[in-house]
Amino acid sequence: AQSVTQLGSHVSVSEGALVLLRCNYSSSVPPYLFWYVQYPNQGLQLLLKYTSAATLVKGINGFEAEFKKSETSFHLTKPSAHMSDAAEYFCAVSARGRQLTFGSGTQLTVLP
């Protein structure tokens, strides 16, 4: 079985501040990990993915995430938040022979 836990259903940061969205996973086999972003009334868009190559993964819009096997984590970060980053973010896990499983999401609010 596999699962994803996203700590904090709502996160608020000031514009220009560090963005940190937490994701912990559970998987009995080596995982593949993804971060998706969803803007209002739109579908999900892939930000970045870890597929067992480099543990530090860089994505679009200045986001990056680090796979830490010892902590079973894949937290998403961005050094400086922009108003346009306000959206819902989903962490997801898959593994060989298994479907993609999403977390429950984190709503990011960026304050002026």
Q: What is the contact surface with another protein in residues (CB under 8 A)? A: 4, 9, 32, 36, 41-46, 49, 51, 90, 92, 94-100, 102-105
Which residue, 18 or 39, has its beta carbon nearer to another protein? 39
- Closest contact distance (angstroms) between CB of 98 and another protein is 7
- Closest contact distance (angstroms) between CB of 14 and another protein is 25
Which residue, 43 or 112, has its beta carbon nearer to another protein? 43
* CA atoms in the 13 A half-sphere facing the CB of 94: 10
Instruction: Give the C-alpha separation, 39 to 30, whole Å.
Output: 30
The label of the residue with tokens 């894949």 reads 74
At 94, give phi and psi (nearest 5°): -140, 175
Q: Residue 95's closest CA among 48, 39, 28, 44?
A: 28
For residue 20, what are its two tokens?
């940190």
The helix/strand/coil state of 71 is helix
- Closest contact distance (angstroms) between CB of 13 and another protein is 21
- Closest contact distance (angstroms) between CB of 79 and another protein is 25
Which residue, 83 or 96, has its beta carbon nearer to another protein? 96
Which residue, 14 or 45, has its beta carbon nearer to another protein? 45
